[in-house]
Chains A and B, each alone.
Chain A
Amino acid sequence: MLEIRGLTKSFGALRATDAVDLDVQEGETLAIIGPNGAGKTTLISQLAGNLRPDAGTIRFAGEDITRLPAPKRSRKGFARSFQITSVYPDFTALENVALAVQAHAGHSFRFWRPTRGDAALTGPARRVLEEVGLGARSDVLAVNMSHGEHRQLEVAMALATRPRLLLLDEPMAGMGIEESQLMISLLASLKGGHTIVLVEHDMDAVFRLADRIAVLVYGRVIATDSPEKIKMNEEVRKAYLGEEA
């Protein structure tokens, strides 16, 4: 589904992404892990379409999307959630998700009918909110929601675009133990029906959710393997010395 070849990005003398090769099969969950400064954010930005790589290609469902801008990637079925919550603070949860639905419901050059009562938008939005567990909080303004709910909302908005691939950037970021468990269950429930690329620090989540794990250190992928093999990988252990493992 996703094929990354030789992806390279430098900032001056710093090689943030160093000839990265990665494959993601349809339906699998690939986790990308690595110590801080490994270049995960830069990699995500290039995958999402916010940063132009210096070299290399990204192919999505057989199509070259390397130079495609972010909105077009989304329309091709590529959804992402943000590490630092990025929602519409002055809209309700329902309105937030309805916007995501709207973005994929053809063009929006409709000037008259209010979106508030438009079942074609609110119906699917409510369903997605139920799915992520925010059903009861649909009419709360995003700015009034808790951090954990924000992370759920991020996932909801990604889901509402009916994606073929989900790129989740640290969905667990800043969550307490209980909230994390809820999020892990949510993501686990998504596993079967979606292809997921998961960037995470939370190793519990990674080992429970990932089918395969890729380890990124100083911009290079040093290992890609099943969770068990990664656990025992010497190089990975060295890279994580001092980090949780």
Chain B
Amino acid sequence: MKSRIILWILTVALLIALPPAVLAIGQPFYLDLVRRVMIFAIAAISLNLILGYGGLVSFGHAAYLGIGGYAVGILGFYGFHNGWLQWGVAIGASALVAAAIGAVSVRTSGIYFIMITLAFTQMLYYLGISLEEYGGDDGMRLKARSQFPLIDLGDPVVFYYLVLAFMLLSVYFTYRIVNSRFGMVLRAAKSNEARSRAIGFSPYPYRLAAFVIAGAMCGLAGALLVNHTNYLTPDFMHWTRSGEVMFMVILGGMASTAGPVLGAFALLLVEDLLSGWTEHWQVILGPLLILSVVFFRRGLAGMFYKPDA
């Protein structure tokens, strides 16, 4: 336990020290890169809640990145730039959609659940494409970033620290949730559903609630993402993005607090590296992912310590 806390403190310290360091050496690109990684880390943390701890293999999590992004983009399109409003809607809309999709799909399991979540995300993707008003297929630039009093998202360093704060908050929230009574029901239902039912737990309401929470958290990540890219596109919701987030969770180590963060860093840094070498980097990434699944069961976090909350 002690060593884990030390590792966390080190990591946070590094992340805090990053902006002044990269600015000093004149490489602001890394600021952008790490900020992007941290935004996806939030998405991965949210997916880890239902996938890593809850055992719900949701292939549709990118949908909420899209909903969060579109909430900000669409409100901005009509002149509503207030950050509280935009992000509030982003989270709220994501929660609502998660509730709707979850109500239908959480009752199913196994292969069905995977296919259904994938299908619904695709539906939202097609919806995004067909909204010509907001750029359709090509997407559109944000009219302006979300406005907050005192915090200027146009300042890369300020935005970076905001994202860092949100990421740490997400980590902490998830940590509390999975160790609470709620989290224990979720984990128990994943570990042994028959036993859970026998002692009196009905998993469905808890799973649905977790699904909604995860969706809402990912919606926030979407709002952050669209502010980061300054560009809204249905690609946020492309099913391959769901796959990427899933990989971050698995690669990092499911059902661990640090896992999603490690996974996000690992995957996105590898992608960045590979895409620097060749335009066809996916032909290398694909087999890498396959190998990691076949051989690398415990994930990165498993290399440091035995994954548990």
Residues of chain A from 56 to 100 with CB closer than 8 A to chain B in the complex = 69-72, 74-75, 79-80, 82, 86-91, 95, 99-100
Tell me how far the C-beta of B209 lies from the nearest C-beta in chain A, rounded to whole angstroms: 7
Cβ of A111 and Cβ of B180 under 8 Å apart?
Answer: yes
B192 contacts the other chain (Cβ, under 8 Å)? yes
Cβ of B176 and Cβ of A111 under 8 Å apart?
Answer: yes
- Which of A11-19, A112-120, A201-209 faces chain B? A112-120
Residues of chain A from 154 to 181 with CB closer than 8 A to chain B in the complex = 157, 160-161
Closest to A167 in B: B198
Write out the residue numbers on chain A whose beta carbons fall within 8 Å of the beta carbon of B192: 86-89
B182 contacts the other chain (Cβ, under 8 Å)? yes
Cβ of B209 and Cβ of A109 under 8 Å apart?
Answer: yes
A132 contacts the other chain (Cβ, under 8 Å)? no
A108 contacts the other chain (Cβ, under 8 Å)? yes
Cα A109 to Cα B184 with chains together (Å): 10
B270 contacts the other chain (Cβ, under 8 Å)? no
Closest to B203 in A: A71
Closest to B306 in A: A90
A48 contacts the other chain (Cβ, under 8 Å)? yes
Interface of A is mostly: loop
* Contacts known (A108-B185, A113-B181); A71 close to B195, Cβ less than 8 A: no
Cα A221 to Cα B182 with chains together (Å): 43
Residues of chain B from 200 to 238 with CB closer than 8 A to chain A in the complex = 200-202, 206, 209
Write out the residue numbers on chain A whose beta carbons fall within 8 Å of the beta carbon of B191: 88-91
Cβ of B179 and Cβ of A115 under 8 Å apart?
Answer: yes
Write out the residue numbers on chain B whose beta carbons fall within 8 Å of the beta carbon of A238: none
B188 contacts the other chain (Cβ, under 8 Å)? yes
Cα A69 to Cα B196 with chains together (Å): 12
Cβ of B202 and Cβ of A71 under 8 Å apart?
Answer: yes
Tell me how far the C-beta of B275 lies from the nearest C-beta in chain A, rounded to whole angstroms: 38
Write out the residue numbers on chain B whose beta carbons fall within 8 Å of the beta carbon of A160: 199
Cα A74 to Cα B209 with chains together (Å): 22
Write out the residue numbers on chain B whose beta carbons fall within 8 Å of the beta carbon of A86: 192, 194-195, 198
Tell me how far the C-beta of A71 lies from the nearest C-beta in chain B, rounded to whole angstroms: 4
Closest 4 CB pairs of A and B: A74-B200, A103-B200, A108-B181, A114-B179
30 CB contacts below 8 A, A to B, read A50-B194, A69-B202, A71-B197, A74-B197, A80-B198, A82-B198, A86-B195, A86-B198, A87-B195, A88-B192, A90-B308, A91-B191, A102-B181, A102-B185, A103-B199, A104-B199, A104-B200, A108-B181, A108-B182, A108-B184, A109-B181, A109-B206, A110-B180, A110-B182, A111-B176, A111-B183, A112-B180, A114-B179, A115-B184, A157-B195
Residues of chain A at the chain B interface (Cβ within 8 Å): 48, 50, 69-72, 74-75, 79-80, 82, 86-91, 95, 99-100, 102-104, 108-116, 118, 157, 160-161
